[in-house]
């Protein structure tokens, strides 16, 4: 039986870190203490004007390909998870394919599941590989959320950052992705959304991110705990068999509450929200790449990736390195 395993990781953070004090200096009515106490966020990265989501995806992908030791044309599937594409169409995945110089006719498409997007992308790509139709997939989470924020709303604008993370997923005889679970419940769409749209060449409605923070917190903690138990049950494991948990980096309080519900010490949770903020679909692959490159994640270890985002969508992947 063929498995799908991660062969390489990469990431990209635009520019220099922007501190909470920097936001205050820009005129946002907040403070470093207020942000840190409520979110755990100290810095984030913001893309400069002219930089595109596909640019961030390109840099992260180049690093992932180098990490895997393969050339772009060895990729036969490109999946990009993003809620902030370069344009309505073509897909950011197709634009990334062009920038990487992939000319072999590889399939390329975007996935829109907001902060769960990378989990969705990884699970979908794994199915392609397990079916035997594809051998190597590039799965990317890339976002420039700073362009859909209302910078007068301190309850949301301080939370988010920009970035990209990527992995190369390839067919293997050794176990890689062990289990996955994906879910959605559209009844909760109003608690986290960008309600506007584009019609007749104009933005219609509200083009900025809107969030009911308390409702999101309650929903996220419940489903994140449930979906981890789901993938562990599929594989016959308990949390004792998990070396690392890499959750979507939304808010330190959500991470702490989820770890407590799973009876996992925070020492086994990879945390980057303090330095990256919430980068939506990019947050999990960014954290994964960091933990791989600093040596925390080693060969043979089991890692659970999990995310929850607007839609509402949520999911988890259990994998072995």
Q: What is the rounded CA–CA span in Å between residue 135 and residue 173?
A: 12
200: which residues sit within 8 A by CB, 6+ positions away?
none
Give the C-alpha separation, 130 to 123, whole Å: 11
Nearest of 78, 192, 209 to residue 153 by alpha carbon: 209
Burial 88-124 (b: 16+ CB within 10 A, else e): eeebbbbbbbebbebeeebbbebbbbbbbbbbbbbbb
* DSSP H or E stretch at residue 68: helix 53-68
**What is the distance between the terminal CA atoms of the chain, rounded to a whole angstrom?**
17
Query: DSSP letter at 9?
Result: E
Spatial CA neighbour of 272 closest among 258, 284, 263: 284
Q: Would you please indicate which residues are annotated as catalytic (active-site) residues?
A: 115, 248, 278
Rounded Cα gap, residues 44 and 221, in angstroms: 23
Instruction: Give, in degrees to the nearest 5, the angle at Cα 78 between 70 and 84.
Output: 125
């Amino acid at each position: 039986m063929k498995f799908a395993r991660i062969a390489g990781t990469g990431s990209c953070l635009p520019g220099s870190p922007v501190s909470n004090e920097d936001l205050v200096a820009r005129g946002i009515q907040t403070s470093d203490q207020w942000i840190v106490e409520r979110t755990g966020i100290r810095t984030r990265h913001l893309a400069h004007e002219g930089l595109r989501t596909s640019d961030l995806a390109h840099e992260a992908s180049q690093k992932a390909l180098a990490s895997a030791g393969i050339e772009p044309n060895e990729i036969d599937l490109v999946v990009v998870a993003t809620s902030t594409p370069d344009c309505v169409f073509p897909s950011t995945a197709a634009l990334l394919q062009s920038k990487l110089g992939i000319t072999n006719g590889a399939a390329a498409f975007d996935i829109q599941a907001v902060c769960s997007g990378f989990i969705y992308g990884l699970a979908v790509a794994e199915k392609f590989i397990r079916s035997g139709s594809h051998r190597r997939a590039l799965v990317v989470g890339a976002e420039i959320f700073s362009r859909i924020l209302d910078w007068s709303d301190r309850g949301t604008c301080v939370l988010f950052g920009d970035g990209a993370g990527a992995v190369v997923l390839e067919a293997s005889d050794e176990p890689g992705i062990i289990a996955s679970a994906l879910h959605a419940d559209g009844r909760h769409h109003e608690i986290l959304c960008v309600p506007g749209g584009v019609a007749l060449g104009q933005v219609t409605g509200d083009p900025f991110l809107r969030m009911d923070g308390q409702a999101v917190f309650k929903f996220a903690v419940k489903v994140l705990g449930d979906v981890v138990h789901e993938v562990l049950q599929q594989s016959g494991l308990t949390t004792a068999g998990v070396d690392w948990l890499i959750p979507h980096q939304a808010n330190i309080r959500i991470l702490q509450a989820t770890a407590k519900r799973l009876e996992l010490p925070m020492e086994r949770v990879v945390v980057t929200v303090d330095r990256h903020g919430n980068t939506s679909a990019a947050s999990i692959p960014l954290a994964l790449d960091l933990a791989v490159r600093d040596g925390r994640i080693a060969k043979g270890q089991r890692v659970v990736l999990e995310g929850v985002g607007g839609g509402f969508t949520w999911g988890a992947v259990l994998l072995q390195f």
